[in-house]
Chain A
């Protein structure tokens, strides 16, 4: 694909500004009505979803070329997909796909960001998106877990770079392992041979590197003979489920996020949450588990003749409707003593944590600003903790909380489930 393939979509933008706000029915007042962190922070229209499409349109018409400013705009986007959800409430056109494709094309054309280049160089050398400290499987020391590369297992637990190499995040993987053990799941990890999913590389625009990681992971999965992958990271979930499908390598692999899997195990009676966790929490939907986590929709067809932007066969647009929203909420609702107090912006129109799209690497100040906005919204619910289901969100929230001096706590859902079993 190239942005030329999205000409019909980008020229359809009517600059209505819906992409800047959460869906209008959901607006509850003058606070928390904005959807897109990029336009909310930088204000100029070029930073909005529609503005990005109009810039692409201008490039396609040959009226504009790459520039330093355009590059700055391009990389100051969390790739969170909120603009697409708001647009696609009313419009039948692709929004997130051309924005993503523009990044890919920018990278191909050498319009890269030095901070992201550095991350990708690291990925190519170490198969990790974060600096490697120790070994990938160090977190599992003493847990006596099966190695999926050597033993037959039903489920592969893909831990992910952030949780594997950040010692502060090891507890998430350890909690997940304990939960799966408690439920009697025959699972294993890939340990030191696990590699990065490639999802964040794709968000940054490095499609070839993402494809390379996809091939490595699928080769490992094929060799291990597992039919189900459970991820503890929302980015990993989106990569295995959506991106690999888009790349045509997923096959019939079942991909579940740990929050979905816990919900499933509970509903099958294999896991019971009995211990009280007396706490009021709010839940943050990670973009890659929510709106960007809905299945990829393969389509091949042609535009119908005439002046309508319609296709044969019809395109089934990904509007964020089928992300993973209810399972984590059902899990939280099953924890005795725990109360869920929702934020204004939730589910498909949730505000991003700030760490996506390479922003935490290319512009940490913007990532922090976005995170602080979310923390403020979380505090407005009266909750004492914000729960999420992605280590990248957790990291960004913790940094935002530290910077803002808030007392809000941050948990991954597995930490609360571990407390409750």
Chain B
């Protein structure tokens, strides 16, 4: 045990004997490194008491809910596992928000919402992740993404104060993240690449924005795992995958679809990711990729039309047909098959999960090298296109696994914003890993030089001067909110 018995007892007194463990045997299941103890708080009061104790004893702490991927932890830190805070506190249908604790998953929340004709944003890390995570997902076109969906919040600061943010700060309502009341949106969830839980302090309750859901109260499924599928695509729903002769044509179609406001979801999967979602195993996935590669004419995306009435559906289809025709798009025959379309639909809406597409083919812990960038869609497409070209050069030299140089991305909030990502796996070549890390750095520096995006793969001291001395302001915020340096921010751990 890393903590002294006296210190351990102080934490135990807060959460109870059963809800603290400092035994080495549980540590590898969390993270590498010697954690002082894992604690399982049950409510805000316990979280606050833990954080205050950490400050008093000068012990670092960090927090995780559902979690994803392991990272090294500072020795002796206190790890708040939020598993016991798993309640949906309120679903406000009138004002369209849901208040949840950190261990409510998106799958649980969405299932409750669909019964009420509502939907929420589900992040790309998957529906098994916490519903309050900041991030992007497959329904971003209509649900928005990132911190847009975080409304009122209850936040235990790194120093142990409980702050009520947004409308909650001046009323008992959760409907707005920015007031009336203090808005610290940029402070707690807008900085860097960390997520809403770990950016500093602990979010103990959050209201998430809700959206209209035109579909059934629950999807009717058939088959057994891993071959679940919808019995049928619901009325007024349609799924298609369109490929385009060029990136500009694809983006033109994205923009027009967004501006016409006809679409429920648009996800710029490459064929590999499409294949992963519709294939129950790796062998089939690779076969399907090969088949699809012969059929597509270039980059593409899938769309889900979800209309409220047959008339609206007919209108949406007509507009879509016109846009696709004007931009040279071509529908993938395989996805026109209702069974395949249904698979894309259930994955896009209910699972929204990166596991098949991101982790199934990767051998160790899902470790992926690459980038994710968010911002003006045309700009981040340009950046990622350049990254892809550099990636292809390395693939030709055998310095990276051959996936054709693919990347993927999608429109957010009807198309002017967007998210783009690219992964690159090492090949067996002994210099591959170094080459890929160099590729990351080069691409990041290029993004900075060309003013495309503040990259996350360079030190803040390098990026900061290019973006209004952000590094200085960030340091000041740290000093203000995290005076004792007790919060440890887990990097990109997806909740």
Contacts and interface: CB of A to CB of B under 8 A. Distances in A.
Contacts of B86: 30
Interface stretch (B175-183, B329-337, B361-369): B361-369
A127 B208 CA distance: 58
A300 B329 CA distance: 46
Nearest to B100: A30
Contacts of B227: 321
A144 to B, nearest CB: 41
Contacts, number: 194
A28 interface: yes
Contacts of B108: 27, 29-30, 33
Interface stretch (B198-206, B217-225, B411-419, B463-471): B217-225
Interface in B332-384: 346, 350-351, 353, 355-356, 359-366
11 contacts: A15-B68, A16-B126, A17-B67, A24-B127, A25-B221, A30-B111, A57-B28, A69-B25, A86-B225, A90-B356, A314-B281
Given A54-B70, A317-B281, A44 B40 contact: yes
A141 interface: no
Given A44-B38, A307-B425, A18 B364 contact: no
B472 interface: no
B355 to A, nearest CB: 4
A44 B426 CA distance: 33
A141 to B, nearest CB: 42
Contacts of B281: 92, 314, 317
Contact of B360 (A29, A91, A349): A91
Given A14-B366, A24-B107, A44-B21, A51 B283 contact: no
B111 A12 contact: no
A292 interface: no
Interface in A154-179: none
A69 B19 contact: no
Contacts of B364: 11-12
A321 to B, nearest CB: 4
Contacts of A92: 281-282, 360
Main secondary structure on chain B at its contact with chain A?
loop
A27 B224 contact: no
Contact of A67 (B23, B81, B127): B23
Contacts of A54: 28-29, 70
B30 A12 contact: no
B38 A27 contact: no
A105 to B, nearest CB: 16
B81 A44 contact: yes
B115 interface: yes
Interface string A18-56: 101101111111100100000000011110101110110
A51 B28 CA distance: 8
Main secondary structure on chain A at its contact with chain B?
loop
Given A90-B356, A307-B428, A349 B107 contact: no
Nearest to A322: B224
B226 interface: yes
Contact of A17 (B68, B225, B428): B68
A43 B81 contact: yes
A406 interface: no
Please give me the 4 A-B residue pairs with the lowest Cβ-Cβ distance, nearest first. A14-B366, A51-B29, A58-B28, A69-B25
Nearest to A59: B28
Contacts of A33: 105, 107-108, 111
B104 A90 contact: no
A370 B287 CA distance: 42
B235 to A, nearest CB: 20
A245 interface: no
B69 interface: yes
A17 B224 contact: no
A348 B224 contact: yes
Contact of A24 (B21, B104, B351): B351
A86 B146 CA distance: 27
Given A16-B125, A28-B218, A46-B29, 20 more contacts: A12-B362, A12-B366, A15-B69, A16-B355, A18-B126, A24-B128, A25-B350, A26-B228, A27-B105, A29-B115, A44-B38, A44-B81, A50-B29, A58-B28, A69-B21, A70-B25, A91-B356, A91-B360, A309-B362, A320-B224
